[in-house]
Copies of this chain bind each other. A is one copy, B any other.
Amino acid sequence: MGGRATIRPLPDEGDEALLRLKPKPNSDLLTPYVAVRSFTERLCETLSPEDCQVQSMPDVSPTRWHLAHTTWFFETFVLGNASGYRLFDERYPALFNSYYNSLGSQFPRPRRGLVTRPGLGEVLEYRAHVDRHMRARIESGDLSAADRAALTLGLNHEQQHQELIVTDIKHVLSLNPLAPAFREDPLATVDAKPAGAGRSIAEGVHEIGHEGPGFHFDNEGPRHRVYLQDCTLDDALVTAGDYLAFMEDGAYADPLIWLSLGWQALQEQGWEAPLYWYERDGVWWQHTLAGPAPVDPDAPVTHVSYFEADAFARWAGARLPTEAEWEVAAGADVEEGGFADQRVAAGRAIHPSGHGRYGEVWQWTSSAYAAYPGYAPAPGALGEYNGKFMCNQYVLRGGSCATPSDHTRPTYRNFFPPEARWQFSGIRLAR
């Protein structure tokens, strides 16, 4: 075998190559389809077949699995409805179904990293096959409304997996003592902390949740009224420097500022700092997607669990906002941020470098992930998308440097268990 195998997202050797497609005027879905699918492969272009194989912990999936699973989604929920479509491989659905019990049994999640075949080459062929058929379906113009909805959901789904590809490979590479970089791109300089007085909310009835024509996940609705008390959310994210002060004050040795389960997690897992931080000769370093780097005190702290966010807030004499407060305070603005696609296009590392509500780090809220009043999951298999995870998870709002730029909005509800640290998760305080 020769050198490192690489994923080449821009093939040029045949007219069925996805990315040279000239979308036809009426095919409004073709452009986003091509853009999303292409960006997934672009993201992986520096990874070897070995990198794409590994599952470094149960929460992480192999990159190759992400590449296949997102493809399976379109094959199952869009192509599968069409008469005449033949599966690329009849054995794939059992391998690449993630958690849809209504679609049959699934290969056990914690063992995804043990399956070596189909290899990366075959998975890329699978992607190309499904892309060809999807293009044909889109161009044919005979997609039903349900097909179009499923296709749109599939794109948003793939964007979620783009973010997971980034966070998962960061974890995989972090375990290698050789400290490889995901991409050699340089870290950006950090924007100054905003000096504002924060965004305030007045006590009373407010509305939250998605409404209107744009795409949203079922868990973002229905839009409904909530009663909020007076409060103010900080303009700036908590920085690594702020967090160092918390650490230096002995926070990781003081049970009194931690939730009971947080203190237990800290002790069992030996937490002494955010994930990926390590000390060398008195200096704090971190594993980044661009390789090892000193911790920048002005950058937003990230890779903290809900437990750490909650303890920091208590230590700081503040608290985490609820998700309703966050959403009302955010208003309609989606500020420009440093989203994953923008960073990749600019040749910059995927790493937080500012204080925006979006595009830097996800922000833990104090809200347990639960159904909104009147929430009803979709019928059929897609009803398993969100609802069944509404237990023992906490909502994060905003969007991170690993989020694609058109994949976030004020009503978006991200959620993870309180001990999760491998996402780009940070802290914005409420008072």
Contact = CB atoms under 8 A, between A and B. Distances in A.
Contacts of A391: 259-262, 306-307, 310, 418
Contacts of A368: 368, 370
A374 B430 CA distance: 12
A56 interface: yes
Contact of A224 (B49, B113, B229): B229
A54 B384 CA distance: 31
Nearest to A91: B178
Most chain B beta-carbon contacts within 10 A, residue among A51, A115, A224: A115
Contacts of A373: 229
A50 B120 contact: yes
A305 to B, nearest CB: 11
A347 interface: no
A251 to B, nearest CB: 14
B117 A175 contact: no
Interface in A1-36: 1-8
A5 B116 CA distance: 13
A120 B1 contact: yes
Interface stretch (A95-103, A213-221, A420-428): A95-103
A107 interface: yes
A371 to B, nearest CB: 8
B227 A119 contact: no
A225 interface: yes
B50 A64 contact: yes
A412 interface: no
A256 interface: yes
Contact of A227 (B118, B121, B227, B389): B227
Interface in A142-192: 172-173, 175-178, 180
A116 B172 contact: yes
Given A225-B227, A227-B205, A366-B370, A54 B3 contact: no
B180 A117 contact: yes
A176 B117 contact: yes
A247 interface: no
A243 interface: no
A239 interface: no
Interface string A303-315: 0001100100000
Contacts of A390: 259
Given A50-B50, A124-B1, A94 B177 contact: yes
10 contacts: A5-B121, A48-B119, A49-B53, A50-B50, A50-B64, A51-B119, A54-B113, A229-B373, A259-B389, A261-B391
